């Protein structure tokens, strides 16, 4: 907008700007006008027991784990090679999956997500990317955080690995059964239809 030096100058509205406005329109349709106070302090995803992982192999997929609950998504067999090589995009998918499944349990949380992917840290913290495919998911991230009153940011750490989500993303069910803590669910959570619709529409775009 700052490029308009005169009041009568026109601004070209890009496709990305229209998509951004659609996110706000979707949020405002269901917004009841009530806002709640968020938690005072940021909570690490490690302390929350919130872990995600994605595998860049067409035979596998991605997984998420949260306090004894878990879910997984297997990559479609026709997933293009350029998508499988986009590890930043792939690692964002299980984060979105976790918020889609357990967002209502994270209401009003201030979550500090730890990852060893520098690019993902920057994208999550700025809510911006030049990658259209990634931006499709970032808009959904914004919508989820608005819906549940979640504040979400990322912090880079030199290395991170969670054996449970690694097993889930590689579909290693026997290994997963050995790793799950006592009392954890032995069955995956059902993925909301709304997330599957987003995934199927945007994954190959």
CATH number, domain containing residue 162: 3.30.420.10
Percentage with pLDDT > 70 across the chain? 81
Q: What pTM does this model have?
A: 0.84
Tell me what pLDDT residue 204 has. 46
Flag whether pLDDT at 78 surpasses 80: yes
Flag whether pLDDT at 147 surpasses 90: no
* Residue 27 three-state SS: helix
Tell me what pLDDT residue 123 has. 94
Please tell me the distance from the alpha carbon of residue 105 to that of residue 203, in angstroms, as a whole number.
26
Please tell me the distance from the alpha carbon of residue 186 to that of residue 195, in angstroms, as a whole number.
22
Q: Would 171 be classed as within a structural domain?
A: yes
- Lowest mean pLDDT segment, chosen from 51-55, 77-81, 121-125: 77-81
Q: Would 5 be classed as within a structural domain?
A: no
Q: Would 144 be classed as within a structural domain?
A: yes
Q: Would 9 be classed as within a structural domain?
A: no
87 vs 3, residue with greater confidence = 87
Flag whether pLDDT at 98 surpasses 80: yes
Give mean pLDDT, residues 82-91: 92
- What is the residue range of 192's domain? 38-202
Please tell me the distance from the alpha carbon of residue 166 to that of residue 64, in angstroms, as a whole number.
9
Q: Please state, rounded to an integer, the average pLDDT across all residues of the chain.
A: 85
**Domain count along the chain:** 1
19 vs 58, residue with greater confidence = 58
pLDDT digits (tens, 9 = 90+) for 37-74: 778 899 999 999 999 999 989 999 999 999 999 999 99
Please tell me the distance from the alpha carbon of residue 88 to that of residue 115, in angstroms, as a whole number.
11
Which residues, including other chains, have CB under 8 Å from residue 130's CB and lie 6 or more apart?
none
Q: Would 176 be classed as within a structural domain?
A: yes
Please tell me the distance from the alpha carbon of residue 108 to that of residue 105, in angstroms, as a whole number.
9
Q: Would 127 be classed as within a structural domain?
A: yes
Residue 113 burial (C-beta neighbours within 10 Å; 0-12, 13-18, 19+): buried
pLDDT digits (tens, 9 = 90+) for 176-200: 999 999 999 999 999 988 888 777 7
Q: Would 197 be classed as within a structural domain?
A: yes
Q: Would 80 be classed as within a structural domain?
A: yes
């Amino acid at each position: 907008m700052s490029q308009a030096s005169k009041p009568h100058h026109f601004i070209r509205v890009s496709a990305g700007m229209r998509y951004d406005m659609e996110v706000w329109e979707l949020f405002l349709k269901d917004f009841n006008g009530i806002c709640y106070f968020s938690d005072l302090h940021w909570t690490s995803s490690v302390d929350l027991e919130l872990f995600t992982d994605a595998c860049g192999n067409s035979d596998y997929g991605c997984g998420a784990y949260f306090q004894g609950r878990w879910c997984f998504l297997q990559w479609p067999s026709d997933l293009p090679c350029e998508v499988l090589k986009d590890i930043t995009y792939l690692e964002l998918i299980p984060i979105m999956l976790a918020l889609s499944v357990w967002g209502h349990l994270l209401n009003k949380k201030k979550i500090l997500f730890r990852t060893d992917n520098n690019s993902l840290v920057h994208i999550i913290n700025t809510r911006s990317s030049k990658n259209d495919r990634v931006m499709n998911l970032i808009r959904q991230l914004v919508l989820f955080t608005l819906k549940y009153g979640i504040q979400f940011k990322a912090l880079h750490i030199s290395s991170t690995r969670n054996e449970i989500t690694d097993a889930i993303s590689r579909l290693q069910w026997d290994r997963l059964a050995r790793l799950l803590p006592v009392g954890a669910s032995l069955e995956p959570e059902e993925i909301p239809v709304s997330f599957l619709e987003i995934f199927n529409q945007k994954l190959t775009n």
